[in-house]
Structure formats: structure tokens, C-alpha cells
């Protein structure tokens, strides 16, 4: 049977079932006696087994078969759903997800699942405590990185750090392995940052490993120095270090792992029922929607042209037809965009498990509250926002929430809370990550910023807390030494900020020491069609996105002032800098304006205002954002181009780049 | 050759350790029988290395390390632990101990620890 044509459906459904298992497992943990949940999981596993066997992916089939057996025993009340069992099923689901994403990236879907299979077999035969065994089986294997780790590694490499994979073997006669390993970890942490360990840090420091453990490590010192430092710890038999290369390619692959299935309703419904329920939806390949949108953009451009022509000809019939067409295209646009919209649920869904895992590794207790997961966002934004969110949540869990003991000491509940919220507001979507952890230490961030030369002592005193916190997003704040200094806040946060800004969004931090921190991300609903103000600069036309415009002002020559050679104006009692677009973009000057008045477009970024000096204001227009293509990337102050009604090209100004921080 | 202060509440352990150390060519400049005693002798004798038992009356070894580190942050302390004192050893290392050896001591281990500590 030729199975190629079914591969998309197979992948979509597999992802749905894996997600369903995931959700149900989390439910099951809360309510281990609930057999109907077990039933749902069983059915999902069963369906997966059938599908994968049909498609010839034997490793998936083998693993799901074993899962099914154990689940069947639970279902028939032959055993109960212990944490060990839930853990091993979680681990299996994770492995399956890796395989599925491998297949969707064109891989052959092969994966060594023997460790997991034998672990489940062990459970099946009645040994419960096998999860340690599994972790140990991993010891010799290579590392599997999650998005966050890949990001840290590739970012670290970009900044000239070495990424090393280190295996440390203790001598056979070493008795207290835990403290010994702790000493190694402590030495390593003084030289750089430990990104991942095998087994987990906790297990290493408890001595739960066979003589050897492995560490992924980024550092600025040489391989040789790292080796010497570790060897200087007693009772070390062997240290082997190798450099990790080639993470970049993996990163991109991983980054697009996001599920693209457009369906979103509750995924725990078993498949047969689901089909009848969902008979009114069809699956459409996303590429098709994208193509449709592209074609539609062309229509929007032609519509503008028609509008121009109609106005020129002044033919009433034509004008009224064009007006009607405008209305229809506007509706079409909304509809089309809504097709591309996906609920943030897709991204949020992975967090419960991530937090569960992190909390366990770190010995913390954390509840995750999610609200607004039905909030919809453009598909592109969804894809891109996932990594930054992972990063921020890790940050909150790792460095924000304190360990239970510390929390009790300061009179908080030992269980920390991380809240993840999404909601619409105007043309924007807000995503907030709030924790009730230790908060950010203003003093330390300020001091670090001064040390780094980002800030003068004097300035620091005058700045608000929020302004100070913004420094944790500065590049270079993310190095290992800072991690411990400012309670960890700062690991690669500049990457997060850059990503969000490149999506046309912004991020702010609020924090109260001892009470917690809140990261708020503001994102545009969609990226491709935007409302803009067209302006004329000499003979060139530019488009300025309406979302960043505060207002337009007519400024008489006399009101233009200079401070330290910088032109400024008085804007409602506030002195704001003025930039001339013709200077910035070096527009050839043909005629010096004889006007007594300048037109100024006041734009904002956060609470910073800047006036952009232009020659003429043309009017508001819906423009289609087209990229400048791969050859002309990263042009300062320009985010793209659009084709105007008269066929001319207008560059779209990126006010965020023009406004100085 | 290093000047060493040996700390242990059991005379037998002190004797044994002293024996090993002197055979390795080091000089035992003093003996302390509890943590408090050790802290005072460190001030008085300024040894190169201190060996420190963990469970002792008056002041335990972990606390003694903390006290010593307060006035001499570069002091080199080797903890002498028994099996099963995992957590105490961890505490001691966090407090600034340089290394640890586990009873019963072997001359090789003691030598290694001293070499690493003296670096």
C-alpha cells in the first residue's frame, strides 16, 4: 500500500492523540482512581498503535503496544496508576513526539525505544520502581535537547562560548558519590553554565548513578582548563570532553516543531466520536491558506489601483463599484486572517508537562494556572512565540519560584504559582507570565548594568524600577556569572526580547522583590496586512504603521529647537527628539521646503516618543507587508515594502528601530 | 611537606591519621578534639591544611568550617566523613571545605586529597 498520501493525516492525528494522552495523564495524576481517563489514554495509545503499524513505523507501534498493555492492566484494575507508571508513560509520549516530529521533518521514524519498552515490560511484570533504571539506561546515550537548551547552546556559541559535552567517571572505590559529583558540578559552575545533565542534577547529587554522569556545559575557558579543573577533584577516574557542534541546524528544525493541526477543540474525545462531532470541519493544508492569502494580497493591491483610477476618472459608477469591492475585500480579509488564526492553546498545551518536569528536577512545588488559551493569534506569531515563552517560563520556574523551604520561611505557601494568561485587547494580544517567586533584585540589576557600562550611577538613581528591569534584556547580561548574581534572571533574555520585537511586539517586566515578577508580552494580531499612514519625503513615499503613531503635528519653524545639536520639539509639555526621515534614509533633496510649517509624525515605543519629520502627509491606507527578500535583509529602520495603488513601491518604516532606547 | 592540624574527637582516629600523615612526610602541628578547639588552634597555629571530623561534641565539623572560613577564607579544610554522612559532607562543601575523605582512611586517598588541596 502506498502510504505517502496519508502521511499528513497520520501526523496530524498522531499529534492529536499524543496531546490527548498528555492532557489525560495530567488529569490522571490528579485523580488516579478515575478509570475513564485510563480508558481514554488506552484508546489513544491503541489508535496510535494501529495507525503507526499501518504506516510501517514499527518503533512507535512497539512502544505504544507496551503502553497499551500496562494501561489495560490499570483499566482492569489489576494495578493502580502509580507515579512510576505515569512517569514512564510520560517518557514514552515524549519519545513518541520526537519520532513524530522526526517523521514530519522527513525522517524515517526510527528510534531506539528498547529502554522504554523494557521499562514498561518491567512494570507489566510487576516491578514498580523502574523509572530510575530508565534514567540510567540513558546515561550512555547522547543528549536530547529541548528548544530552550538548543537556544542557549546556539546563543552561547554565537557569543564565543564553547559548548562541551563532558563525561565524568568516578573511581570504583568512591563511596560518597553524591558529594563527589557535587564538587564536580560546583567547579563546573564556577567556569560556565551547566545546561543539561544525565541523569538529572538531583540524581547526580544524590549519587544515583553508576560511576559516571554526563553534563552539557557552556563556557568561555578552554577545553583543557575545564579538564584540568575537574581532574583536580579527588577520586575522578576519567574525564572525557568533546565539543558539541552542529546545534544550529537542529535548532531550526526544532523550532518549527509546533503542531499545525488547525483543529483545537477538546482533544480527549476518542476518535470515533470525534469524527461525527466534527463533520462540519475539513482539514486544509496550511500552505493552501497561505497561498490564498498571498493571492488575496495581490487583490488588495489591485483594489488600491482601481480606487486610484476611479478617483482620477471621476466616474461615479466605477467609484461606487470600487467602494463596494473595498467593503467585500475587507470582510474577505478578516475571514482569511481568521483562518490563519490559531488558539494559543497549541503553545500553552506543552507547558503543564514542562513545568511538572522542571519542578520535579528542581525539587520545587509549582501549580500552573492557564487562562485564555482560546485566544487566537496569527499562525506565524504562534510559531515564533513558542520559544520565547518556553524561555520565560523556565526562567520563572528555575529562578523565580523559590524552593519550598525558603518560601515557608518568608511566609508564603510552599507551593509556588506560575500564571500564564492570554487575552485580546484592541489590535493586540497580550500574554503574561506571572510568578509569585522571589522577584527581581533592583539593586543587583542596577549594579550589574553599571558594571557593564550600560548605565551611569547617576542615571540609575533616577530610573524607575521598570526601567532598571529592562536591563535584564540587554545582551551580555545573559552570561553565566550573572546567572547566580542576579538570581539567575537573564539567561538569554536578550534573545527573547529580540524575537518579540521582530514580531512587532514588546515586552515589559514588573516585579516586586519577595512577591514575584510579571513578564507582559504585547503582540500584534497579525503581521501581514497593516494599517499605515502614507507620508511623502521629497519625492518618495513611506508608510508608517498606525499602531505606533500617537498623532501628527504641524510644527512651525520657530518651534523647532536644538539641544546638544539634536533637534527637539515641545510635545504637550514634553521635550521629544525629532528625526528627519529624509536624513535617515538619505533621500535626495530636490527642493528645500519653503513651507513655514513642518509635518511631524509622533511615534511611540513603550513610553518613549519621537517625532519623525516628513514633507507631506498623504493618508491612511491598508498596506500589505512584503519582505524585501533575502538579498536585502536587515535594512535599518525599514521593515518591508508595499505596492501602492499607483503601482509605486513604498517602504514601510519600522519606528521601533528609529526610536532610541 | 605541609603543616597540618588534625581534628577528631576520637583519639584513635587522630593517632591513625597522624601516622598516615607523618609517613607521607607531612608535619602534624596540632590536634584538636572538637570544632571549637579546632577554630582556636587554627588561629593560633596557622596550619596549611586542616583535617576535620564531622560529628564532634561542642561544635560539629560543618559549623567549624563555617567559623574558620569567617576569618580565613582561604583555609584548606579536608572533611573526614563516615559512610552515610552524605548530607553533612554536602553542607561542609557548601560551607567551603576543599575535599573530603571517607573512613576508613587509606594512605593513598589521604595523599591524593592533600595533593589536590595543596594544588
**Mean pLDDT score, B56-73:** 91
Cα A321 → chain centroid = 44
Which parts of A76-222 fold into alpha helices (H)?
83-104, 114-124, 131-139, 147-158, 177-191, 201-205
Residue A175 and residue B83: Cβ atoms within 8 Å?
yes
The predicted structure's pLDDT at residue A130: 39
Instruction: Assess whether pLDDT exceeds 90 at residue A397.
Output: no
Residue A179 and residue B112: Cβ atoms within 8 Å?
no
Q: What is the pLDDT of residues A632-660, one digit of tens each?
A: 767 888 888 887 767 788 898 888 778 76
Q: So where are chain B's domains?
A: 3-118
Q: What architecture is the B3-118 domain classified under in CATH?
A: 3-Layer(aba) Sandwich (3.40)
Q: What is the ipTM of this complex?
A: 0.87
- A183 in contact with B, Cβ within 8 Å: yes
Residues 6 or more apart whose CB falls under 8 angstroms from that of B51 comprise B4, B5, B6, B7, B8, B17, B77, B78, B79, B80, B101
Superfamily of domain A4-139: HPT domain (1.20.120.160)
Beta-carbon pairs below 8 A across chains A and B: 36
Residue A176 and residue B119: Cβ atoms within 8 Å?
no
**Mean pLDDT score, B45-61:** 91
Which among A69, A48, A70, A67 has a CA at the least distance from the CA of A57? A48
Grid look-up 520556574 returns A397
The DSSP string of A61-116 is HHHHHHHHHHHHHHHTTSS---HHHHHHHHHHHHHHHHHHHHHHTT-------HHH
For the ranges A316-330, A407-421, A441-455, A609-623, the lowest mean pLDDT is seen at A441-455
- B81 in contact with A, Cβ within 8 Å: yes
Q: What is the strand order of the sheet A540-545 is part of?
A: A616-624, A529-537, A540-545, A649-653, A638-643
- A652 in contact with B, Cβ within 8 Å: no
pLDDT-based confidence at residue A591 (cuts at 50, 70, 90) = low
What residues of chain B lie within 8 A of the CB of A182, using their CB? 90, 93
8 Å CB contact between A585 and A637: yes
- B113 in contact with A, Cβ within 8 Å: yes
Q: Which fold has domain A529-658?
A: OB fold (Dihydrolipoamide Acetyltransferase, E2P) (2.40.50)
* Chain A contact probe: residue of B62, B109, B110, B111 with most A CBs at under 10 A: B109
Instruction: Assess whether pLDDT exceeds 90 at residue A384.
Output: no
CATH of A344-524, one of 3.30.428.10, 3.40.50.300, 3.30.565.10, 3.30.450.20: 3.30.565.10
What residues of chain B lie within 8 A of the CB of A232, using their CB? 116, 119
Instruction: Assess whether pLDDT exceeds 50 at residue A601.
Output: yes
Residue A232 and residue B116: Cβ atoms within 8 Å?
yes
For the ranges A269-283, A352-366, A609-623, the lowest mean pLDDT is seen at A269-283
The predicted structure's pLDDT at residue A2: 54
Among candidates B86, B112, B116 on the partner chain, residue whose Cβ is nearest the Cβ of A176: B86
- A203 in contact with B, Cβ within 8 Å: no
Q: What is the pLDDT of residues A435-468, one digit of tens each?
A: 888 888 888 888 888 887 777 878 777 888 888 8
| Mean pLDDT of all residues belonging to chain A | 78
Q: Is CATH 3.30.70.1110 the classification given to domain A147-253?
A: yes
* Nearest chain A CA: its distance from B113 CA (Å): 6
Return residues 90-109 of B near A (CB < 8 Å).
90, 93, 99-102, 109
Q: Whats the size of chain B, residue-wise? A: 119
The predicted structure's pLDDT at residue A331: 84
Element housing A541 (H / E)? strand A540-545
**Percent of chain A predicted with pLDDT > 90:** 3
Among candidates A175, A182, A233 on the partner chain, residue whose Cβ is nearest the Cβ of B90: A182
Instruction: Assess whether pLDDT exceeds 70 at residue A593.
Output: no
pLDDT-based confidence at residue A262 (cuts at 50, 70, 90) = very low
Relative to beta strand A506-512, strand A561-563 is unpaired
Q: Chain B: residue nearest A207 by CA?
A: B86
The predicted structure's pLDDT at residue A247: 52
Residue B90 and residue A232: Cβ atoms within 8 Å?
no
Q: Which three cell numbers stand for residue A592?
A: 528645500
Q: Which three cell numbers stand for residue B27?
A: 608535619
Which among A100, A134, A108, A77 has a CA at the least distance from the CA of A22? A100
Which among B86, B118, B117 has a CA at the least distance from the CA of B99? B117
Beta bridge partners of A580: A613
Grid look-up 587522630 returns B14
8 Å CB contact between A433 and A392: yes
What residues of chain A lie within 8 A of the CB of B93, using their CB? 179, 182-183, 186
Among candidates B81, B113, B116 on the partner chain, residue whose Cβ is nearest the Cβ of A176: B81
Residue B83 and residue A232: Cβ atoms within 8 Å?
no
Q: What is the pLDDT of residues A491-508, one digit of tens each?
A: 467 778 878 877 778 888
How much is the pTM? 0.44
For the ranges A312-316, A571-575, B83-87, the lowest mean pLDDT is seen at B83-87
Using CB atoms within 10 Å of the CB of residue A373, give its burial: 0 to 12 exposed, 13 to 18 middle, 19+ buried. middle
What residues of chain B lie within 8 A of the CB of A178, using their CB? 86, 90
Element housing A366 (H / E)? strand A366-371
Instruction: Assess whether pLDDT exceeds 60 at residue A238.
Output: yes
Residue B119 and residue A232: Cβ atoms within 8 Å?
yes
What residues of chain B lie within 8 A of the CB of A237, using their CB? none
Amino acid at each position: 500500500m502506498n502510504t505517502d498520501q496519508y502521511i499528513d493525516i497520520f501526523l496530524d492525528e498522531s499529534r492529536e492523540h499524543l496531546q490527548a494522552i498528555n492532557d489525560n495523564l495530567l488529569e490522571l495524576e490528579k485523580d488516579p482512581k478515575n478509570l475513564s481517563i485510563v480508558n481514554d489514554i488506552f484508546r489513544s495509545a491503541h489508535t496510535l498503535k494501529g495507525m503507526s503499524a499501518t504506516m510501517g513505523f514499527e518503533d512507535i507501534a512497539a512502544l505504544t503496544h507496551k503502553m497499551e498493555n500496562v494501561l489495560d492492566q490499570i483499566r482492569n484494575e489489576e494495578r493502580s496508576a502509580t507515579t512510576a507508571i505515569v512517569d514512564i508513560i510520560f517518557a514514552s509520549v515524549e519519545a513518541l513526539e520526537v519520532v513524530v516530529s522526526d517523521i514530519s521533518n522527513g525522517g524515517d521514524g526510527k528510534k531506539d525505544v528498547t529502554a522504554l519498552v523494557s521499562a514498561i515490560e518491567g512494570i507489566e511484570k510487576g516491578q514498580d520502581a523502574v523509572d530510575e533504571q530508565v534514567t540510567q539506561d540513558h546515561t550512555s546515550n547522547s543528549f536530547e535537547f529541548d528548544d530552550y537548551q538548543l537556544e542557549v547552546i546556539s546563543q552561547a556559541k554565537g557569543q564565543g562560548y564553547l559548548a562541551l559535552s563532558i563525561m565524568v567517571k568516578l573511581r570504583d572505590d568512591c563511596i560518597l558519590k553524591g558529594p563527589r559529583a557535587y564538587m564536580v558540578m560546583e567547579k563546573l559552575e564556577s567556569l560556565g553554565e551547566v545546561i543539561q545533565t544525565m541523569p538529572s542534577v538531583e540524581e547526580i547529587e544524590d549519587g544515583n548513578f553508576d560511576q559516571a554522569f554526563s553534563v552539557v556545559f557552556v563556557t568561555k575557558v578552554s577545553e583543557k582548563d575545564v579538564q584540568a579543573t575537574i581532574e583536580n577533584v579527588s577520586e575522578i577516574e576519567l574525564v572525557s570532553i568533546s565539543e558539541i557542534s552542529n546545534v544550529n541546524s537542529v535548532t531550526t528544525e526544532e523550532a518549527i516543531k509546533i503542531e499545525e493541526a488547525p483543529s483545537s477543540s477538546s482533544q480527549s474525545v476518542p476518535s470515533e466520536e470525534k469524527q461525527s462531532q466534527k463533520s462540519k470541519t475539513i482539514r486544509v493544508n496550511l500552505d493552501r491558506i497561505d497561498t490564498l492569502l498571498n493571492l488575496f494580497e495581490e487583490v488588495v493591491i489591485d483594489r488600491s489601483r482601481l480606487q486610484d483610477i476611479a478617483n482620477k476618472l471621476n466616474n461615479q459608477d466605477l467609484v461606487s463599484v470600487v467602494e463596494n469591492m473595498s467593503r467585500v475585500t475587507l470582510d474577505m480579509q478578516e475571514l482569511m486572517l481568521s483562518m490563519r488564526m490559531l488558539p494559543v492553546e497549541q503553545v500553552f498545551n506543552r507547558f503543564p508537562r514542562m513545568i511538572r518536569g522542571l519542578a520535579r528536577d528542581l525539587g520545587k512545588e509549582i501549580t500552573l494556572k492557564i487562562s485564555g488559551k482560546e485566544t487566537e493569534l496569527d499562525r506565524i506569531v504562534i510559531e515564533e512565540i513558542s520559544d520565547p515563552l518556553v524561555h520565560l517560563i523556565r526562567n520563572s520556574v528555575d529562578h523565580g519560584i523559590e524552593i519550598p523551604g525558603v518560601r515557608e520561611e518568608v511566609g508564603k505557601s510552599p507551593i509556588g504559582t506560575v500564571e500564564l494568561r492570554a487575552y485580546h485587547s484592541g489590535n493586540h494580544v497580550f500574554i503574561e507570565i506571572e510568578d509569585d517567586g522571589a522577584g527581581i533584585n533592583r539593586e543587583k540589576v542596577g549594579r550589574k548594568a553599571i558594571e557593564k557600562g550600560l548605565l551611569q550611577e547617576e542615571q540609575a538613581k533616577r530610573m524607575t524600577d521598570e526601567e532598571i528591569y529592562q536591563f535584564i534584556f540587554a545582551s551580555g547580561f545573559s552570561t553565566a556569572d550573572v546567572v547566580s548574581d542576579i538570581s539567575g534572571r537573564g539567561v538569554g533574555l536578550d534573545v527573547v526580547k529580540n524575537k518579540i520585537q521582530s514580531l512587532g511586539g514588546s515586552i515589559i517586566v514588573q516585579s516586586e522583590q519577595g512577591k514575584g515578577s510579571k513578564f507582559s508580552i504585547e503582540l500584534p494580531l497579525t503581521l501581514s496586512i497593516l494599517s499605515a499612514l502614507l507620508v511623502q519625503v521629497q519625492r518618495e513615499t513611506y508608510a508608517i504603521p498606525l499602531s505606533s503613531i500617537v498623532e501628527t503635528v504641524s510644527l512651525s519653524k520657530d518651534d523647532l529647537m536644538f539641544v546638544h545639536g539634536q533637534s527637539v520639539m515641545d510635545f504637550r509639555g514634553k521635550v521629544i527628539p525629532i528625526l528627519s526621515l529624509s536624513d535617515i534614509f538619505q533621500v535626495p533633496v530636490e527642493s528645500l521646503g519653503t513651507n513655514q510649517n513642518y509635518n511631524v509624525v509622533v511615534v511611540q515605543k513603550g513610553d518613549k516618543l519621537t517625532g519623525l519629520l516628513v514633507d507631506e502627509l498623504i493618508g491612511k491606507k491598508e498596506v500589505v507587508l512584503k519582505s524585501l527578500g533575502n538579498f536585502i535583509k536587515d535594512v535599518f529602520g525599514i521593515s518591508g515594502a508595499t505596492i501602492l495603488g499607483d503601482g509605486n513601491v513604498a517602504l514601510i518604516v519600522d519606528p521601533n528601530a528609529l526610536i532610541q532606547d | 611537606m605541609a603543616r597540618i592540624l588534625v581534628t577528631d574527637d576520637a583519639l584513635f582516629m587522630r593517632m591513625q591519621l597522624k601516622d598516615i600523615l607523618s609517613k607521607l612526610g607531612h608535619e602534624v602541628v596540632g590536634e584538636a578534639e572538637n570544632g571549637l578547639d579546632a577554630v582556636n588552634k587554627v588561629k593560633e597555629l596557622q596550619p596549611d591544611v586542616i583535617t576535620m571530623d564531622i560529628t564532634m561534641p561542642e561544635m560539629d565539623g560543618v559549623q567549624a568550617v563555617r567559623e574558620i572560613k569567617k576569618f580565613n577564607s582561604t583555609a584548606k579544610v579536608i572533611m573526614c566523613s563516615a559512610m552515610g554522612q552524605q548530607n553533612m559532607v554536602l553542607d561542609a562543601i557548601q560551607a567551603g571545605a576543599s575535599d573530603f575523605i571517607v573512613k576508613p582512611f587509606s594512605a593513598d586517598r589521604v595523599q591524593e586529597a592533600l595533593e589536590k588541596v595543596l594544588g
